[in-house]
């Protein structure tokens, strides 16, 4: 009961902060009450909380990999009755970026995981109490005047929808049913619906297609933000969004808080941008995710030394392998074999015999240590991901290691091959204390250093 009261108070404070922020930013708008609004003409900010779970696997770690089953046969969307639990990964820590958004009319605040690696946004609409009580109440459709069911006659219920791999079907009661399975065995299924987000009396989105989950393994929903036509970013017609990931803390019950912007970010004057690589329909290759936010890394430095990795390793080849994705829904960063091997070789060289032998965290990361994390970080030094035009992601030596429990610390990088993926993925572990902006109009990704926790105060 005490934890429930604490969670409710936390959500109230988040929504109060959001309401005050939006109200202040709308003082100069002339939008008429109850009209839908072009969100890009505004600057809406929200608290972005970092939730660190120690008792669940991280489904979001693999969200961007599920979207293309041809690329990853192991990650096919299976029927629930035949799913093989051997596909699960035993990640002890899951670092998810959570934003609380006002769904429906009047708004009901719902927690959603910010995921730039997936398309469908969905909320909790349980008809019965879930096995594990969620930290916030599920969405109640009967309380919203703008809620409607997507009918079976809608094109979304037809198979093989271009750029949307969700499994949908028309069920007996004429509802458009969907099922979505993730690589670690967790899932969400329910009905596709239309609903608005009500940010204020004068700022309301058009009706958006969302998943209304009646069964799921997670207490929160997902805010799908990739480049697909059914993502929240596309449906709401925003042309840019950004977030600032706070540094992670491992204290139980702690919720480090950063920021999330829809529309213009007042801090963008200090951002530096890299080109977003895009792909046409004719370029769709078996190992490519054409809806992801793709960039090209030029190189990697460790402790001031540039590793001998060809830039071609970070760019999609003729089959799509090697694509480099910026993904808020993945915790760790993943590198393909050539790059991962060079990083591991350099880490082993500078740390020496300190690396744990025969230890592979979660089946994907084997650069792990038992010793003093501060001293090991000092030996490794800063890690830098280099991009075009001198743009860099700098990971200071104090944060190159992730605490994975049991006194073990690992480099926050895993092997793409062991993940059964053909891509490089820049996860949120390497996006801490940094603004990341997705400028959809100009097809670019911006980065800017920041103290994300301080900005949120």
Q: What backbone torsions phi and psi does residue 399 show, to the nearest 5 degrees?
A: -125, 20
The one catalytic residue in 115, 184, 289, 439 is: 115
| Residue 214 contacts residue 191 (beta carbons within 8 Å) | yes
Whether the Cβ atoms of residue 44 and residue 203 lie closer than 8 Å to each other: yes
Rounded Cα distance, 437 and 448, in Å: 9
Q: Which residues pair with 149 in a beta bridge?
A: 193
**Cα 300–chain centre separation:** 23
For residues 351 and 322, the answer to whether their CB atoms sit within 8 Å is no
Active-site residue (options: 218, 289, 327, 439): 327
Give the separation between CA 111 and CA 103, rounded to whole angstroms: 10
- Rounded to 10°, the helix 373-380/337-351 angle is 110
- Report the alpha-carbon distance of residue 245 to residue 437 in Å, rounded: 12
Q: Are 154 and 57 in contact (CB under 8 A)?
A: no
Query: Would you give the DSSP letter of residue 336?
Result: -
Cα 446–Cα 450–Cα 453 angle in degrees, nearest 5: 125
Rounded Cα–Cα distance for residues 232 and 238 (Å): 9
d(CA 457, CA 455): 6
For this structure, is 115 an active site residue? Answer: yes
The CA distance from 146 to 215, in Å, is: 22
Grouping H, G, I as helix, E, B as strand and the rest as coil, residue 374 is helix
- Using CA atoms, how far apart are residues 303 and 247, in angstroms rounded to an integer? 21
Q: Which two tokens stand for residue 345?
A: 């070789």
Active site residue 382: no
Per DSSP, 396 falls in state -
> Hey, how many other C-beta atoms are within 10 angstroms of the C-beta on 107?
18
The b/e string for 437-453 (b: 16+ C-beta within 10 A; e otherwise) is bbbbeeebbbbbebebb
- The catalytic site residues sit at 115, 327
């Amino acid at each position: 009961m005490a934890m429930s009261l604490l969670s409710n108070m936390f959500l109230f404070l988040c929504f109060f902060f959001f309401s005050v922020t939006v109200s202040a930013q709308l003082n100069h708008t002339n939008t008429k009450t109850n009209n839908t609004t072009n969100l890009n003409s505004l600057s809406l900010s929200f608290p972005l909380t970092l939730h660190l779970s120690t008792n669940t696997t991280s489904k979001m770690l693999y969200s961007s990999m599920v979207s293309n089953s041809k690329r990853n046969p192991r990650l096919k969307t299976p029927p629930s009755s035949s799913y093989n639990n051997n596909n699960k990964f035993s990640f002890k820590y899951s670092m998810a970026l959570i934003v609380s958004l006002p769904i429906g009319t009047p708004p009901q605040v719902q927690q959603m995981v910010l995921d730039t690696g997936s398309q469908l946004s969905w909320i909790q609409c349980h008809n019965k109490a879930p096995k594990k009580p969620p930290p916030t109440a599920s969405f109640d459709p009967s309380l919203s005047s703008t809620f409607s069911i997507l009918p079976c006659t809608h094109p979304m219920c037809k198979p093989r929808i271009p750029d949307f791999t969700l499994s949908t079907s028309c069920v007996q009661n004429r509802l458009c049913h969907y099922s979505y399975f993730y690589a670690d065995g967790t899932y969400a299924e329910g009905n596709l619906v239309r609903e608005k987000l009500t940010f204020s009396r004068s700022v309301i989105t058009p009706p958006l297609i969302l998943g209304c989950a009646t069964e799921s393994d997670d207490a929160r929903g997902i805010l799908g933000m990739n480049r697909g036509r059914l993502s929240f970013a596309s449906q709401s017609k925003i042309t840019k969004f950004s977030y600032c990931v706070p540094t992670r803390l491992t204290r139980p019950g702690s919720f480090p808080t950063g920021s999330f912007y829809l529309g213009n970010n007042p801090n963008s004057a200090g951002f530096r941008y890299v080109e977003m690589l895009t792909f046409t329909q004719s370029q769709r290759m078996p190992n490519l995710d054409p809806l992801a936010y793709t960039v090209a890394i030029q190189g990697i430095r460790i402790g001031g030394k540039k590793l001998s990795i060809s830039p071609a390793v970070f760019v999609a080849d003729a089959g799509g392998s090697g694509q480099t994705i910026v993904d808020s829904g993945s915790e760790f960063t993943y590198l393909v074999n050539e790059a991962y091997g060079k990083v591991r070789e350099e880490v082993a060289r500078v740390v020496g015999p300190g690396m744990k032998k025969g230890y592979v965290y979660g089946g994907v990361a084997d650069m792990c240590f038992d010793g003093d994390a501060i001293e090991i970080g000092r030996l490794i030094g800063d890690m830098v991901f280099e991009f075009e035009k001198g743009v860099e992601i700098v990971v200071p030596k104090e944060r190159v290691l992730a605490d994975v429990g049991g006194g073990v610390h690992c480099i926050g990088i895993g092997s793409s091959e062991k993940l059964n993926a053909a891509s490089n993925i820049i996860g949120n572990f390497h996006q801490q204390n940094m603004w990341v902006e997705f400028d959809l109009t100009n097809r670019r990704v911006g980065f800017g250093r920041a103290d994300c926790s301080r900005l949120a105060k």
